[in-house]
Amino acid sequence: MRTQIAAANWKMNLALSEAEALVDQLIAVPHQLNNNQLVILAVPFPYLIAVQNKIAGKKNIFVAAQNCYTKKSGAFTGEVSAAMLQSIGVEYVVLGHSERREYFKEDNSLLADKVNIALEHNLKPVFCCGEPLAVREAGTQDKYVETQLQESLFHLSEHEITGFIIAYEPIWAIGTGKTATNQQAQDMHANIRSVIAGKYSVTVADSISILYGGSVKASNAKEIFSMTDVDGGLVGGASLIADEFITIMNSLK
């Protein structure tokens, strides 16, 4: 079975003391995670080490950075490199979140560079894709997401893309309380898998964990995660509330 993942994206939220309290609450509950289930906490850069220390020794719980830069090192004030993340033992990095695409003008080609540098440093990307409302209304979301994958991921070798993590986050469902229907999520996830199967193979497509993101909460996680091609979620707002996120973790297949 594919890896099922509950990923928290804290975005730019919480003070350090709040972040630590949240992690304490999450790990206070003994989670029955199977070998095929993972929890990933994408936390702000300044909290990576503190959260790593808290979860040390916990099985199947990892931290992720929310971004990294395209260059290894140098005069890039304010940026954080994949090499730095690797040097502190981070294993995952979220790339291509729609907020980075929109506010920081990250395009598919820049994201291809970020994916490359992340892989060079043994980081596993959680690669985000998803369409804005206008594209959904025009009914061209399948092609839109396909282009995002083609331009940022399809230069990868079969070996590199096997086991990849992709998060489908329709922009119109992020932070809006408006979740895609289970069927809309399933349809897009199946589309993503079939595009990958076409480019690589069915075996490769079957190895990829495709997470749904956009207003996932305790009350809807189980039904969304139950869809055939949905392998968990990337959760914003609800991941900041311990009880909500614990229920979401427990909703994995």
Pairing of strands 124-129, 4-9: unpaired
Dihedral pair phi/psi, residue 39, rounded to 5°: -120, 130
Residue-wise over 128-155: b if at least 16 C-beta within 10 A, else e?
Answer: bbbbeeebbeeeebbebbbebbeebbee
Q: How far is CA 31 from the centre of its chain?
A: 20
| 169 included as an active-site residue | yes
Q: Quick one: which of 204, 138, 200, 196 has its CA closest to 168?
A: 196
Which CB, 169 or 231, lies closer to ligand 13P? 169
Q: Quick one: which of 171, 84, 212 has its CA closest to 65?
A: 84
Which CB, 172 or 200, lies closer to ligand 13P? 172
Query: Mask: binding to ligand 13P, 157-176, rule CB under 6 A, as x and -?
Result: ------------x----xx-
Which CB, 22 or 234, lies closer to ligand 13P? 234
Query: Mask: binding to ligand 13P, 181-220, rule CB under 6 A, as x and -?
Result: --------------------------------xxxx----
Site for ligand 13P in 70-99 (CB under 6 A): 97
Number of residues that bind ligand 13P (CB under 6 A): 14
Candidates 96, 170, 232, 236; binder of ligand 13P (CB under 6 A) is 236
Cβ(241)–Cβ(219) below 8 Å: no
Beta-strand runs (E) in 85-241: 92-95, 124-129, 165-168, 209-213, 232-235
| 155 included as an active-site residue | no
Residue 55 three-state SS:
helix
Burial of 114 (0-12, 13-18, 19+ CB in 10 A): buried
Single out the catalytic residue among 97, 99, 121, 244.
97
Candidates 48, 180, 235, 249; binder of ligand 13P (CB under 6 A) is 235
Single out the catalytic residue among 99, 131, 169, 244.
169
Candidates 13, 14, 237, 253; binder of ligand 13P (CB under 6 A) is 237
Which CB, 54 or 100, lies closer to ligand 13P? 100
Q: Annotated catalytic sites, by residue?
A: 97, 169
Contact residues toward ligand 13P (CB under 6 A) are 9, 97, 169, 174-175, 213-216, 234-238
